[in-house]
Structure 1
Amino acid sequence: MFDKNALQQLNQLKSKIIESKDQGEGEVRGSQRRFGFVRLDDGRDVFLAPDDMQRVFPGDRVKITVITDDKGKFKAELEKLLESPLDCFTGRYVVRGQGHFIEPDLPRFNKLLFIPPSQRKKCSEGDFLYCQVAQHPFKDGKSQVKVLENIGSPDTVGIEGKYIQRKFKLPRDWPKDCSIGDDIRADTRKDLLDIPFVTIDAAETRDIDDALWAQANDNGWALHIAVADPGAFITPGSPLDIAARQRANTVYLPGFTQTMLPNPVSQGSCSLMANEERAAIVCSVQVSADGEISDIQFSEARVRSRAKLTYNDVHAHLHGEMDLNQDCLKDLYAASLALRKYRSEHQIIMPEQPDFHFQLNEQRKIESITKVERNDAHRLVEECMLAANRSAAIWLADSPAVYICHAGLREDRYDNIRAVINKEIPSLAGCDLSALPGYKALIKASDSNESTLPLRSIFARMLQPGDISLTPKPHFGLGLERYTTFTSPLRKYSDLLVQRSIRAKLDKENPSLPSDTELAVLQETIRNGRQASKQMEQWLQYQYLAGNTSDTVYDARIAHVNGGGFTVELLDTGISGFVEARTIPEKLSFDADALRLFNDKSSFQLDQLVKVKTSELDDFQRKLMFLLVP
């Protein structure tokens, strides 16, 4: 038996041993294989062996002891589970022998979780489930889940939409009281009913946000953009306002649209339908012959659209292929050309990308994909919307509002960018990449440069994502000192907020705006909706591609390059997949500056055209691998 002094000495020795260990806390990161890593708070990535990886989930926060092996590599020994954020998730029901599991639909999560007999609830292999973690595996490597909902089988009509809605937790129901009140500004609205506005949209569009009218004058054109005014009917903090904020955006899923506002509002009482009197916020500007904007005015008005026109019909009208009997179209087109010319000279025009239209069958699967190129009618509307939004940012000045910003190039890629500049555009070697003038000079030089490299595409892969802010900041992508949007209030909650700021300035009041924290939540909700739309599109696209034989050859364009290979986009359908560098016989080197893979015989560069065929396709996991066809 130890005496008191001996016990004290042992405890001190134990404490010294613990203190001498290299310990740390961090987040578990998964991989494509059974092992993983722990990203420590000090920045180190520590290897986590397969047996230990079975005891944790990607995203878990753990305490580890860092062991250094004979080769000087770090290896983690798990000490304690600090936090496990994984709770509810979706996945696919699988059977392995006598065992029943769920295959979680989570990034870099490649383990099956056990479903005990009491939770199987007549589920069949292949069913899509919504589950909750019932037992974490940290103690013994064994996990269990509770089945909350059987979403449906692969044969269920529209299962992809139901699944994506559940996976991304998109709101499915409206609160009981989603009615709208009366127009709070009815008595003070400006009467613009005599102006023959028109709307230009896709034929199937029902939630019509904007109507246009222009007329030539001695100084260029008077341009009016009328925008639907749902904020005049929706009280801040009301059940409908809260529901709209929680949704943040209208999410367009193939064959299914989750609207930000109920259809009776977005497609009915607030939509700028033809021949119906509607409440609107109208932006009125003077466009000079050179495309410069002046005399910016905003008003709350009553308007009436004279016609619902389609992009294709307006394009045909502009080129003399049909007559729409709308006099304002000639002036709208002329004003839009001047606006675009001004932007090309003083700001930045983003490269155009085609859209792809999905024709769905009765099972809500893709039957055909049609490539839709942008035409002059699309550009006309785009210029008018940009003019209105640019004008709003200028008119609001430093008033409280929500602004759209874009910070330009990623700072961690500055060295790569400067290496390209020094070689391809040496005249800009000293430009300030963090300042808007420097970025504008870089993009304009890229467009006019005769380099063999696709400079604009290279720099586009090194951009930061856009953001929303309560203070005006530059929008590098458009080449503007400040920017905001208010022209889609039926579909975007941030636009509804900007409209409230416009109304508040008209009334000389302060608007009620979200806090920075609430704005961050709104931004995350927007990203979540975009990801939901992207994943469902991929799921349906890969199902569609699976109908072809593995020997089918596709024309494609290289859309992104990294050290492991390159992403290609099929020209006819827009479907994206990956070509692994290791599938190309000769070893390739990666140029991180020019985003290029190359060897003595071959080179693979952004925007390069190639031919490919499928090698591996899993529509549920959204995994599509291509092989290069010589």
Structure 2
Amino acid sequence: MTYIVNRYRCDIGRLRHTFPLPCTPFSRPEHRYHRSMLDKNALQQLSQLKTQIIDSKDQGDGEVRGSQRRFGFVRLDDGRDVFLAPDDMQRVFPGDRVRINVLTDDKGKFKAELEKLLESPLDCFTGRYVVRGQGHFVEPDLPRFNKLLFIPPSQRKKCSEGDFLYCQVAQHPFKDGKSQVKVLENIGSPDTAGIEGKYTQRKFKLPRDWPKDCSIGSDLRADSRKDLRDIPFVTIDSAETRDIDDALWAQANDNGWELHIAVADPGAFIRPGSALDRAAQQRANTVYLPGFTQTMLPNPISQGSCSLVADEDRCAIVCTLQVSTEGEISDIQFSEALIRSKAKLSYSDVHAHLHNEMELDQACLKDLHAASVALKKYRSEHHIIMPEQPDFYFQLNEQRKIESITKIERNDAHRLVEECMLAANRSAAIWLADAPALFVCHAGLREDRYDNVRTVISKEIPSAADCDIATLAGYKTLIKACENSESSLPLRSIFARMLQPGDISIQAKPHFGLGLKRYTTFTSPLRKYSDLLVQRCIRAKLNDEKPILPNEDELNTLLEAIRNGRQASKQMEQWLQYQYLARNTSDTVYDARIAHVNGGGFTVELLDTGISGFVEARTIPEKLIFDADTLRLYNDKQSFQLDQLLKVKTSELDDFQRKLMFLLVD
């Protein structure tokens, strides 16, 4: 006979010899075992036995990870991944923190037994209303979350199947596997015009409202500004741009060119810590969603009083440089100024002017172009130039769906503006090097890929075998060797997939991607809060003051908001792109390029539209081997490599789940 002690069975025969008082099983219902029948010594020994039983078990805390199927895993804090069976997976959500008992099955593999729910971060989420027979559910729009959550009758609020919802978890399923949610908002039906933008805004919790007092006062720096209104600045942007951040002017001299980059100065009106400043900090960036823009600053400011519109006096931070005929920068100066742009020019018109296809009145364009060519030449010789990527323009219809997609190749006007912005930002990082400031940094290759990189170097570019890829100088040597290599492999594309993400820091650290010892950005203060902060650092140095920099928590929050906005933009673009593609038949053949490769297959990007989807390795007849060094899938008959061109057609498409699978076309 046994007693249950905290869910673990203890043999009474063994316990008899440990207790000084008689302890026999009771055969009658009125007899009960309780603490008062045992003395302190017996209780202590029982407690010790309980502790020994618990300690003998392999327990651990970790996070639940979902999968494409019904089962899941628990990633323990010690790094182990433990299998979670489908029945147990029904009791938890991906992202939950749980305590588990780690068991071993007949094959020696780890299996999780749920012990305790420690934390469940899932609260509010978006999803799609689904009806299955008599049951009403929401299909959560969450990564690796593939189960439906029950909506009780009292919470259905006249929703219809397919409606997009904003919900809250009302009952966690840990106890009995049954969950419930309540509907907080019916965002709209699939045929509502612009529903994708409304849904994306709600899903990513993008701020929708401004503080009551968003007005800006007079220029706080009016008395100290230089009057540069006689300089004939011009702006070069897309024809539809209204939030104009920068204006340019250049003039040839004996040493090359004097280059002026004027940048809008919203910080002259926005006090640190004010309601408007806090709102801008929360938004972090302007988020460009197709057909809808989530601005960092209110439109009357970003498109009006602070935008460098033509023929209006505007406050600016002006960076003045001397650019040599070889493209080297010297004599860096910054000033708070008052400017007046003389013209708003478009990329297409400036490009046509530079190629004598049309005539513009702005004489400075010739010198701006010449200076930008010299700047780029210097960068190509001493730093790193990133490969150019085309842009894609979405033409939307009345329902705010994509009507057409136009591929836009970068032209000489884009390159002119890019070089001027890079020159200003590089110069700001140099000028601020000895002052408290905010810097943009990039740490180069991931440490866990060093062995892969060295393997490729030894086989494909042995001339770079001695370079230290962990240092900026070594990485620059590696990239130069790639550019001069005769290898058939796309070396730069391979190494680009092994890079760490960029970062923002209050320390001046190298930017490996650009090949610079230090870098920052201040040229988009109407759209990026970090640029607004850097402008404040510039102003503080000009006035011999100490800037207010974000602490570590504030910096992490800012970075998270930036990532959140980028993800929102990417997901909405994918949603609309997949709707657009769904209008074609499944037999439509597309020209594509391999953009990424892993052991399960490869991502391809359609050349004409930029739409990305996945080709699973298992859909290719003969088994493929993955080479983690060169990011290649291959067998005896075929090989799939980054940048390789091929033809594909769709096999599976779900625009809401943003799932697009392709098949190869022979």
TM over 0.5: same fold? Answer: yes
Work out whether 1:218 is the aligned partner of 2:224.
Answer: no
- Give the secondary-structure state (helix, strand or coil) at the position aligned to 2:223: coil
Question: Are 2:65 and 1:23 aligned?
Answer: no
Partners in 1 of 2:507 and 2:44 — Cα distance?
60
The match for 2:85 is: 49
Please tell me whether the aligned partners of residues 470 and 516 of structure 1 are also in contact (alpha carbons under 8 angstroms). no
**Which of 327, 332, 336 is the matching residue for 1:300?**
336
Q: Which residue is 1:629 aligned to?
A: 665
How far does the alpha carbon of each residue in 1:555-577 deviate from its partner, in whole angstroms, 9 at most, with x for none?
A: 00000000000000000000000
1:7 positional shift = 4.9
Partner of 2:162: 126
1:156 paired to 2:192: yes
1:593 aligns with 2:635: no
Query: Cα deviations across residues 194-224 of structure 1 (Å, max 9, x unaligned)?
Result: 1000000000000000000000000000000
1:620 aligns with 2:656: yes
Out of 59, 67, 70, the residue aligned to residue 95 of structure 2 is 59
Corresponding residue for residue 199 of structure 1: 235
How far apart are the structure 1 equivalents of 2:102 and 2:434?
51
**Counterpart for residue 140 of structure 2:** 104
Query: 1:468 pairs with 501, 504, 513, which one?
Result: 504
Q: Which runs of 4+ in 1 moved over 4 A?
A: 5-8
Matched ranges for 1:300-449 at <5 A: 300-449=336-485
Q: 1:3 to 1:299 in 2, by over 3 A?
A: closer
Structure 1 residue 478: Cα displacement? 0.4
Aligned mate of 2:201, from 143, 158, 165? 165
Hey, what's the Cα distance between the residues in 1 that align with 2:51 and 2:228?
81
- Secondary structure, aligned partner of 1:441: helix
Deviation per residue, 1:346-388 (Å, 9 max, x gap): 0000000000000000000000000000000000000000000
Q: In structure 1, how many angstroms separate the alpha carbons of the residues matched to 2:278 and 2:68?
A: 40
How far has the Cα of 1:14 moved from its partner? 2.3
Which SS does the other structure have where 2:342 is aligned? strand
Q: Secondary structure at the match of 1:187?
A: helix
Shift in Å at residue 6 of structure 1? Answer: 5.0
Q: CA deviation at 1:549?
A: 0.2
1:501 paired to 2:537: yes
Assess if the C-alpha contact under 8 Å between 1:393 and 1:484 holds in 2: yes
- Give the AA of the match of 2:60: G
Secondary structure of residue in 1 paired with 2:539: helix
What is the aligned partner in structure 2 of residue 281 from structure 1?
317
The count of corresponding residues between Structure 1 and Structure 2 is 630
* 5+ long unaligned stretches in structure 2: 1-32
SS at match of 2:230: coil
Match of 1:239 among 259, 264, 275: 275
Which letter maps to 1:311? Y
| Match for residue 573 of structure 1 among 598, 609, 612 | 609
**Does the CA contact (< 8 Å) of 2:463 and 2:481 recur in 1?**
no
Q: C-alpha separation between the residues in 1 aligned to 2:608 and 2:149?
A: 39
Mapped to 2, the partners of 1:601 and 1:406 lie a distance apart of 39
Alignment counterpart, residue 121 of structure 2, candidates 85, 110, 114: 85
Q: Partners of 1:516 and 1:591 in 2: how far apart? A: 39
Report what 2:47 is aligned to. 11
- TM-score (normalised: structure 2): 0.94
3-state secondary structure, aligned to 1:582: helix
Describe the superposition over 1:370-423 as per-residue Cα deviations: whole angstroms up to 9, x where unpaired. Answer: 000000000000000000000000011221111000000001111111110110
User: Residue type of the partner of 1:517?
Assistant: D
Larger Rg: 2
**Stretches of structure 1 lacking an aligned partner (at least 5 in a row):** none
Letter in 1 for 2:571: Q
Of 477, 482, 495, which residue of structure 1 is paired with 2:513? 477
Q: Deviations over 1:228-247 (max 9, x none)?
A: 00000111111111110000
Identity of aligned residues (%): 86
Give the aligned residue type for 1:219: N
In structure 2, C-alpha distance between the alignment counterparts of 1:427 and 1:510, rounded to whole Å: 47
Q: CA deviation digits over 1:28-77, x for unaligned, max 9? A: 00000000000001100000000000000000000000001121100000
Cα distance in 1 between the residues matched to 2:480 and 2:132? 58
What is the CA RMSD across the aligned residues, in angstroms? 0.8
CA distance in 1 between partners of 2:427 and 2:418 (Å): 14
CA distance in structure 2 between the aligned counterparts of 1:181 and 1:530, rounded to whole angstroms:
31
